[in-house]
Structure formats: structure tokens, C-alpha cells
Amino acid sequence: MGGAQDRLTLASTSPQRRAILEQLRIRFEVVAPDYVEDDPPDADPAALVRRHAEGKARSVHAPGRLTLGVDTTVVLDGRVYGKAGDREEARLMLDRLSGRTHTVVSGLCLLGAGDEVVAHELTDVTFRLLAPGLVDTYLASGEWEGRAGAYAIQGLGGRLVERIEGDYLNVVGLPGALLVSLLERHAPKMLETT
């Protein structure tokens, strides 16, 4: 990808994605994407998140910049669980995930210097069998709002999880290992820390 970019343009307002980039010491600026997501429950999950990641990146991309778009969803039994519209929908999602293993699927798109890379990452998450009181407590926290699958593993939602297999950062909202690997190949200057 190359070019004179000195920082990544993140096409997201997610505080979790910003925190991950800060943790990985990747310089970035945030630009809110102008892209409308559509999450049909029967969509192919990998194709869906890849399309959304690319749409977000394209909506803010400027020549001479390196732009990152990311999208994350939750999949169980072939069904996509995006963001819950209300508390009852969140309860239904958590009830379905209870005691089961689901997959967190994130799409990632890097645009820059006339080049485009679109990829995705999968992480399996197993929930504990959730007692109704735990679900009530979690719903009351409001943390489920705006979260794929109606939970946030890095917060109170960590109480719901028994184990994960794969990239933890992917479950938080940005597949860190995949991003670093792509930057190593396509824009290694982005990984310089001095």
C-alpha cells in the first residue's frame, strides 16, 4: 500500500476499536463513517461483515490515506445476531447464546494507495449456562446496547463467558492479530513505535 501515510484513518466511532489501536500503539485518527448497515439474519456472515467493513472504509477514504473499516457480528446455528433493537430482543439473544458456543465474525478492510485488502476473522465464544438473574442484571446494566450479540466481553459481559478460542480482541471488536499481520505486509510503517 505504501504512500506517505503516518497514521491510520479509522472509519469507526467505537471506543473499543480506538482502545485496541492504542493498545497496539498504532497511530490513528477517527472519522465517523457515513454508511448504513443492513444485517439480515440469514446473510452469509463472512460476506456480510466484509461488505460492511469495506462500505465503512470507502465512506471516509481520502486519497493518500490508509483507511481501516471494521464490522463485527455474532453467529449461532447459521443465524446472524447483530445489535439488539431493544431490551427484549437482547434477552432473546442472550437466552439463545446461553450454554452454547457461537462465533464472532469480524470483517476488516484496508484501503490505501490504490490497493484494497478485505479479510475476516473468526473466534468461537462459549457462554456459561445463564441463570435468569444474571441475564436480568446484565440487561439492567445497559451494556448490551449497540453490541453485536447483545454483550460486551470486555465489561460485565465477561461474566457470561466460559471460554474463547481465538483472538480475544476480535470479540472486543477489532481482530488485532489480523490487523497487525496485514499492516506488516502492506503498510509496515504503521507499526513503527518511535
Catalytic, out of 71, 86, 115, 167: 71
Judge contact between 49 and 120, C-beta under 8 A. yes
Strand partners, 106: 72, 121
What is the C-alpha separation between 157 and 11, in angstroms, rounded? 25
Strand 79-81 to 101-112 pairing: unpaired
What is the C-alpha separation between 194 and 191, in angstroms, rounded? 9
**Active site annotation includes 71:** yes
Residue 15: how many CB atoms within 10 A of its CB? 10
Residue 159: how many CB atoms within 10 A of its CB? 13
Which triple of cell numbers denotes residue 119?
A: 479479510
In one-letter notation, the amino acid at residue 38 is D
Q: Which residues are the active-site residues?
A: 71
